[in-house]
Structure 1
Amino acid sequence: MINPSDPPEEQIRKQAKIIDALIRRMNHQHELGNSAYATFQSAVSMQAKMMEQSRDLERTTSELANVRIERERTRKNLTSALAAMEGGFALFNRCRLEVSNELFQMLLPDISARIQPGLEIDEYIEAMLSSEDLVGTDGRLFGALAQVRRSAVGAAVNAVVAELIGDRFFQVNLQRTSEDNIVILLTDISRIVRQNRSEKENLIDRQATYLQAVFQNMTSGVCTFDSDGRVKMYNQRFRQLLGLPYTLLQTGSELELIVRHVRSHAVFEDEDAFDVGFWMERLQKQGRFRSRLRHANGRILDMHSHVLPDGGFVVDLGDVSAEIRTAEMLENRVAERTAELTEANARLREQYEEKARVEEKLRVAKEAAEAAVSSKTRFLAAASHDLLQPINAAKLLISTIKEATQGATVHPMVERLQSSFTSTEQLLHALLDISRLDSADSSALQPANVCLGTLMQGVYEDQLRVAEKRGVRLDVVTAMVFVRSDPVYLLRSIQNLVVNAIQYTPSGGRVLVGCRRKGDDVVLEVWDTGIGITLKDQSKIFEEFTRAGNVPIGSGVGLGLSIVERTCRHMGHTVSVKSKPNVGSVFSIRMQRVAVQPEAIEERVPINANESSTMDLIVLVVEDDPAVLFAMIKKLEQWGASVLGASSTEEALGHVRDMGIPPDIMLADYQLGKTDTGINAINAVRTLTGMHVPAVMITADRGDHLLKMGAEHRIPVLTKPVRLRKLRPLIEWLTRDPMEPLTRSGTDQSRQ
């Protein structure tokens, strides 16, 4: 029944009313009740309630007194804080003045009497604007007030600068602090305004001095006139260019007098420039006037006149004497140069015609050279078989003679003969490789996904015995990483780098072959502790028939690195060298890696075989060259084999029919004359015997199509001249297991 939020007076009034109602009820019950006990009980209950209400009334009265004291203390603190503020302050609650400090009330003395609590904020703004002490504002106060009323609570302050008499300036800040309250702050900014004004005046004075200095030091002459044609300002350059006396050119001098003096000493190209009236009329209509005059002192002056905003005009004089003389000189030179160019053009036309004739001869010569190169390439490609056949036969015979003359006096000569044939073979291979790589269509290169680890291991096995013979330690760190390259020529390139490293490393040295990954690339490196290469020789060692200056005589013809460079250039690889004389060298080939899943590692052909053991095998050799056939038979017989020689497929089948059993292994040349091939001979023998006869195809053709064909028929392919150190282990490896029937499938473990 009593609302705690009501004022204390209202609560006391309601409590008294409740007490009166309870007393009346008690009296009424006393009159009507018949029980004395009930009456006594009601009186006791009523007394307890009255005591409780009395205590509540006392507590409420005490709290009301405390609130009044705290409110008075807060008002005094606020009054003290407002009085201590440096600026004026006023709080308007619901657009009526609630509280303000003394500075706010006394800022404008003529309206201070009107500034009382309850004053409407609009009335205050009107009174402020009507004050005689206010000089003006830089904005509209009512506009700022309207913006504050529309703004959200706590929004940015709206400021207006007010100027008062006595050179005083105040900043009026209006801000909405709550839904009902608007605060006005008056800040004295007189010192800041005066300081800015002083700095601005000083800056203007400095700029004027600076501009005057610039004006006086301009390369052109400048003079300004007012609208009546009288001098206002000029620089000394203007006086010097026109040769005017000091008494004539002064502030206030008339344009007519100046023009009259100039007319007697100079010639205007534009005759109208003599007429000052025409000059002024032109300026008024067009805003500018331009003329040129030649002074008696030899100067040629360009005169420009422009109208100024105040109705006057400025005259600008520029000395163009040097430019005119330069232009005249250039015109003369252009005329002379034109004559020279005309003559030179006639000579060039004659030279062009002669050049055209020479180019035609060069074109014919180029076509002839290209035809010769193409013919050379076709010749070497076609003759490679015929060139390698006698080399192959000679190698076989020399090897046979070498083993047969062990301990004889001619054995050293046979070894030298074998070394000479090896050098001849290497030179022939190098020449054929360069010929193929220099062919226009680069058909010799067949890119494929190549495992570097396999190639490195193959090179290691081929060169290990050579390194041991020279007393050089050869180490290879392989890695199963794949690159996109030509397998044959990449193998040849690695082999050439390793051979060079072994050849130019003294006994006791070391050669290391390895590769490392660098991002998406892989770098194959060949390190050696050899004689090294000077910086001068490093730039030319990749050229054909070029060797370093410190290479001993007779150590090669300089084609190996040329083959490496050509292969890498065609395949997009990067070859480089770093070397230091007497320390060693490192050759690198950088290639792009490819993501290839490595296949199951195939069983490798052993490189070492027991050459002292007897080869108890029946070997069928199919070769159409009688010299090669004879040499191969002798070599195999020296190894202890029983050899049957044939020059064609039919002859080979005849030997098999006569024996009645299949041979243990077949060695067949690919080209057997006309349409007959070694593939046909091997397949015919296998078909006749019904057995998968082991076979090796030996050919001078180095094309990839033979490797693919050999893989299809499970036939390893060796190139001529055949490497005997590789042939014998391959024969022993192929014949180690029993022969399989043709119907049984299997995978061929071939290796080039």
Structure 2
Amino acid sequence: MIDQDAPLEVQVVRQAKIIDALIRRANRQHELGNSAYSSFQSAISLQAQVWAKTRDLERTTSELANVRDDRERTRKNLTEALAAMEGGFALFSHNSLEVCNDLFQSITPDLLPRLVRGLKIDEYIDALLTSKYLVSTDGRLFGALAQARRSAVGTPVTAVVIELLGDRFFQVNLQRTSTHNMIILLTDISRIVRQNRSETETLIDQQAHYLQAAFENMTSGVCTFAEDGTVKMYNQRFRQLLGLPYTLLQTGVELQRLLRHVRAHAVADDAAGFEEAYWLDRLKKQGRFRARLRHSNGRVLDMHAHVLPDGGFLVDLGDVSAEIRTAEMLENRVAERTAELTEANNRLRQQYEEKARVEEKLREAKERAEAAVSSKTRFLAAASHDLLQPINAAKLMISTLKDATRESSVFPMVDRLQSSFTSTEQLLHSLLDISRLDSSDSAALSPSDICLGTLMQGVYDDQKQLAEKKGVQLDVVPNMLFVRSDPVYLLRSIQNLVVNAIQYTPEGGRVLFGCRRRGDQVVLEVWDTGIGISLKDQARIFEEFTRAGNVPLGTGVGLGLSIVERTCRHLGHEVTVKSKPGVGSVFSIAMKMVEGQPAQSEERSPIGLDESHDLDLIVLVVEDDPDVMFAMTSKLEQWGASVLGAPSTAQALQHVRDMGIPPDIILADYQLGGTDTGLRAIKAVRELSEAQVPAIMITADRGDHLLRMGAENGFTVLTKPVRIRKLRPLIEWLTQPQMPEAEALGTDESRP
């Protein structure tokens, strides 16, 4: 019935109520009982309960007294502890004042009557803010209270400093100690504040001395003015620059007095700058003021005025006389230099105009040169056909004449004529090659993967007769490796090196050419035991029309090696020479090897077949040049062939219709009259005769398009002038009955 956790006072009151209730019950039972014995028993039982409750009440009363004593001792100890604290302390429970110490009460004596238990914390702060002892505060007390209420238990709140009468300062701290408790601590910081104030004043005095010392040692003049325009601080440099008397420049002197004196001895950029009102208005609106003064003592002064935080302003004077003189001197120098530069610019402009005129002339000369080169290119394109046509005819007729006069007395003369004509042909080819390489650079070259062994064997077959005639042993060590190069010009380069070696090697000597590997390169070398080349000549023998000093007259014009050098340069090959006079020479061409190519060569037209029998063939010759037609017809008829000559495709078709059978072989020039071509003639004859008639295209055009055309249409391409010693074997090989039609060659006889 009694809560053991309740306060002792509450337990005692409840026990008293219980005893009173039991006594009243016992009295009622005694009055209402019918039996005296039962009433006696009830009284005895009730008496026992009363004694028990009385003992409990006495024990509880004793404990309550002890608790009250402990509580009083605790309160006394708390009061003594609070009194011993250096600062004021107050505990508010449920926002009401519970306890505070004497210092807390004595800080504001006018609030003492109100500092009683139950005073609300908001009421205390409101009373503190209205206390007559409060001078100022550096923060909001109610804001600090609100922050303390929102903060977690034990979290300190930013302190608020209050100033009281008597130059006293206290720091107010609010902190929650539990959910419903809040404490206020008032810490006396008067001594600290006074000490800081004293130190600050001392520091300010020291800084004033330092500032004054700094002012005195500045190179510029400095003067500070109060808000009302009176002098506060200045340095001697300020006095010296303005030429102010000692009696004028003193602390407290008005700005207007200084301005009147300065106006009498100096000139300003703006005359209104000597009025105080003008100064104050400019400083108020812009915060700064600037002017330049020219003093009677010869100085030029830059004056800057700036507003200070306290409302006053600072005036800074700088002597810029030296800078002005320097600037004037520089301006004079700049003017002089400008005049010099203007004159130089005029000269440069004249030179530029002259240069422009020269460049225009050079441009015109370049255009003329380019036009000449273009004209030369067009001429060479035409000459390639027009020059080679008569040469081809002459070569055929000379070959026919040589065969016809072989047993006569004029045969040696014809043989010499053929040799001279061969030299002329070689010179013409060299000139055309040089012109093509010059006019179109590397555009004349068509690199492809070619087999060196095939080229070398072809050169050996072509030059073997020349070596035998000269009495020189010619040997070749072919190598079936592949390189990336232009087949025509590389073949021509190898021929030139071999021909030169044979030409400059005396009878009984030897010429050997072959290949060797050097890393990823193939080096083709031509060795000879000839007359050799001196060291000084080795550097110039690759130039046009240049020959070594020990070369006999009449042995060439010096174009062969130039063609070799230009070809290798355009193709990326490296050509070198090693030689010793009287011992021999070694010419080398280093080329990049092509990996993965099969070591085989293409088929070439057979050479050296039996020519003792007649060509029992019907040969259709399609040629629009009468001289070439005559020469070719004569040569073929000399070989025993029956020749049908036609200047056009239409005439060739008419011959086939008249015969009623296809010819055995077609020899056609590529460029016929007008739009007619040898390709058209070959196709038309084959279509009319319904047979794949073997055909040879004879042309002065060395373009790759003809080679591709021949491969696609199944005919062989020969370049003019025709090499007679290859023409007949090629005709016999193409007309052999066993040769499948698919094996008709589509390549130049000079190509691998």
Q: Which interval holds the TM-score relative to the shorter structure? A: 0.5 to 0.7
Q: What residue number does 1:692 align with?
A: 692
Task: Specify the SS of the correspondent of 1:540.
Answer: coil
**Contact 2:707–2:746 (CA<8 Å) still a contact in 1?**
no
- How far residue 361 of structure 1 moved from its aligned partner, in angstroms, is 1.4
How far apart, CA to CA, are the structure 2 residues paired with 1:613 and 1:535?
A: 54
Residues 584 and 745 of structure 1: is their aligned pair in 2 closer, same or farther, counting only changes over 3 Å? closer
Query: 2:708, 2:746 within 8 Å by CA — same for their partners in 1?
Result: no
Q: Describe the shift of the 1:387–1:747 C-alpha distance in structure 2 as closer, same or farther (beyond 3 A).
A: closer
Any conservation in 2 of the 1:605–1:751 contact (CA below 8 Å)? no
Give the aligned partner of residue 614 of structure 1. 614
Pair 1:353–1:630, CA change in 2 (3 A): same
Counterpart Cα distance in 2 of 1:421 and 1:399? 11
Which moves more between the two structures, 612-621 or 376-385? 612-621
Residues 648, 681 of structure 2: 8 Å contact kept: yes
Give the superposition deviation at 1:396.
Answer: 0.6
Name the residue aligned to 1:356. Answer: 356
Whole-Å separation in 1 of the counterparts to 2:400 and 2:383: 26
| Offset of residue 746 of structure 1 | 5.3
Hey, what's the Cα distance between the residues in 2 that align with 1:750 and 1:374? Answer: 30
In structure 2, the partner of 1:394 is 394
Once the two structures are superposed, the pairs formed by residues 42-81 of structure 1 within 5 Å of their partners are: none
Q: Read off the aligned partner of 1:735 and give its amino acid letter.
A: T
Who is 2:588 aligned against? 588
Tell me the SS of whatever aligns to 1:614: coil
SS at match of 1:507: coil
Report the secondary structure of 1:692's partner residue.
coil
User: What code does the residue aligned with 2:478 have?
Assistant: T
In 2, are the aligned partners of 1:656 and 1:663 still within 8 Å (CA)? yes
1:198-237 alignment, distance < 5 Å: none
Could you say which residue in structure 1 is the equivalent of 2:415?
415
Deviations 1:643-685 (A, max 9, x none): 1111111211221222222222111111112222112212222
Query: How far apart, CA to CA, are the structure 1 residues paired with 2:432 and 2:440?
Result: 15
Contact preservation (8 Å) 1:714, 1:750: no
Q: CA deviation at 1:339?
A: 13
- CA drift at 1:391: 0.5
User: Per-residue deviation at 1:747?
Assistant: 5.9
Q: What CA deviation, in whole Å up to 9, does each residue of 1:35-63 have, x standing for no partner?
A: xxxxxxxxxxxxxxxxxxxxxxxxxxxxx
Alpha-carbon separation, structure 2, partners of 1:662 and 1:747: 17
2:624 paired with 1:624: yes
**Partner amino acid, structure 2, of 1:544:** E
Q: Distance in 2 between matches of 1:547 and 1:465?
A: 25
Match of 1:404 in 2: 404
> What is the TM-score of this pair, normalised by structure 1?
0.53
Aligned pairs (5 A) from 1:292-441: 350-440=350-440
State the SS of the aligned residue for 1:531.
coil
SS at match of 1:736: coil
Instruction: Identify the residue that residue 473 of structure 1 maps to in structure 2.
Output: 473
The DSSP-based 3-state class of the residue aligned with 1:552 is coil
CA separation of 1:528 and 1:341: change in aligned 2, threshold 3 A? farther
Matched residue of 1:450: which SS?
strand
Q: CA deviation at 1:451?
A: 1.2
Q: Is the 8 A contact 1:666 1:695 kept in 2?
A: yes
- Find the aligned partners of 2:596 and 2:550 in 1 and give their Cα distance: 43
Change in 2 beyond 3 A, CA 1:618/1:351: same
Within a 5 Å distance, the mapping from 1:65-214 to structure 2 comes to none
Q: Confirm or deny: 8 A CA contact 2:453 2:601 kept in the other structure.
A: no
- Paired position in structure 2 for 1:509: 509
Identity value in percent: 75
Question: Is the Cα–Cα contact under 8 Å of residues 604 and 751 in structure 1 kept in the other structure?
Answer: no
CA distance in 2, matches of 1:472, 1:739: 37
- What is aligned with 2:711? 711
Corresponding residue SS for 2:666: strand
Deviating more after overlay: 525-534 vs 409-418: 409-418
Offset, 1:409: 2.4
Task: Indicate yes or no: 2:503 matched with 1:497.
Answer: no
Shift of 1:492: 0.9
Question: In structure 2, do the counterparts of structure 1 residues 731 and 747 end up closer, same or farther at CA, with 3 Å as the change threshold?
Answer: closer
For 1:375 and 1:348, how far apart are their aligned partners in 2?
Answer: 39
Structure 2 contact 490–567 (Cα < 8 Å) conserved: yes
- Report the Cα offset of residue 598 of structure 1: 2.1
- Shift in CA distance, 540/746, structure 1 to aligned 2, threshold 3 Å: closer
One-letter amino acid of the counterpart of residue 508, structure 1: G
C-alpha distance in structure 1 between counterparts of 2:408 and 2:583, whole Å = 42
CA contact (8 A) 2:451 2:599 kept: no
State the distance in 2 between where 1:599 and 1:737 align: 30
1:595-606 → structure 2 map (5 Å cutoff): 595-598=595-598, 601-606=601-606
In structure 2, the partner of 1:133 is: none
Q: Which moved more, 1:634-643 or 1:433-442?
A: 433-442
Match in the other structure for 1:551 = 551
- Cα deviations across residues 469-510 of structure 1 (Å, max 9, x unaligned)? 111111111111111111111111111111111111111111
Q: For the residues of structure 1 that align with 2:399 and 2:514, how far apart are their CA atoms?
A: 33
Distance 1:425 1:407 in 2: 26
Partner-residue secondary structure (3-state), 2:387: helix
Which secondary structure state, in structure 1, belongs to the residue aligned with residue 566 of structure 2? helix
Q: Which deviations, in whole Å up to 9, do the C-alpha atoms of 1:272-291 show, x marking residues without a partner?
A: xxxxxxxxxxxxxxxxxxxx
Contact 1:573 1:589 in 2 (8 A): yes
Q: Which residue in 2 is equivalent to 1:136?
A: none
Say whether the 8 Å CA contact 1:473–1:511 is kept in structure 2: yes
Alpha-carbon separation, structure 1, partners of 2:579 and 2:349: 53
The alpha-carbon deviation at position 601 of structure 1 amounts to 4.3
How far the C-alpha of 1:574 sits from its partner, in A, is 1.0
Is contact 2:484–2:592 with CA below 8 Å preserved after alignment?
Answer: yes
Distance 1:686 1:600, change over 3 A: farther
8 Å Cα contact 2:480-2:601 kept in structure 1:
no
2:638 is equivalent to residue 641 of structure 1:
no
Aligned mates of 1:459, 1:667 — CA distance in 2: 25
Q: Distance in 2 between matches of 1:747 and 1:726?
A: 16
Distance 1:693 1:739, change over 3 A: farther
1:652: which partner in 2? 652
Q: Secondary structure at the match of 1:667?
A: strand
> 1:452 is matched by which residue type in structure 2?
L
Aligned to 2:566: 566
1:347, distance to aligned residue in structure 2 (A): 6.0
Tell me, yes or no, if the aligned pair for 1:615 and 1:641 is still in contact at 8 Å: yes
Amino acid aligned to 2:586: V
Give the Cα–Cα distance (whole angstroms) in 1 for the partners of residues 457 and 394 of structure 2: 29
Per-residue CA deviation, residues 81-133 of structure 1 (Å, 9 max, x unaligned), is xxxxxxxxxxxxxxxxxxxxxxxxxxxxxxxxxxxxxxxxxxxxxxxxxxxxx
For 1:379 and 1:658, locate their aligned partners in 2 and report how far apart those are by CA, in whole Å.
Answer: 40
Aligned counterparts of 1:365 and 1:604: Cα–Cα separation in 2: 49
Distance 1:569 1:739 in 2: 41
Tell me how far apart the structure 1 counterparts of residues 552 and 688 of structure 2 sit (CA, whole Å): 57
Distance 1:551 1:600, change over 3 A: closer
Name stretches of at least 5 consecutive residues in structure 1 with no aligned partner.
1-333
Q: Which runs of 5+ in 2 are unaligned?
A: 1-332
Please list the CA deviations of residues 489-538 of structure 1 after superposition, one character each: whole Å capped at 9, or x if unmatched.
Answer: 11111111111111111111111111111111111111111111111111
Q: What is the one-letter code of the residue matched to 1:420?
A: S
The CA deviation string for residues 310-340 of structure 1, in whole angstroms up to 9 with x for no partner, is xxxxxxxxxxxxxxxxxxxxxxxx99xx999
Asked if residue 531 in structure 1 is aligned to residue 531 in structure 2, the reply is yes
**Inter-CA distance 672–739: structure 2 relative to 1 (3 Å threshold):** farther
Distance (Å, rounded) in 2 between the aligned partners of 1:340 and 1:418: 80
Task: Tell me which residue corresponds to 1:671.
Answer: 671
1:555-608 deviation digits (Å, cap 9, x = unpaired): 111111111111111111111111111111111111111124227644432221
**Partner of residue 721, structure 1:** 721
Tell me the TM-score normalised to structure 2 length: 0.53
CA contact (8 A) 2:537 2:548 kept: yes
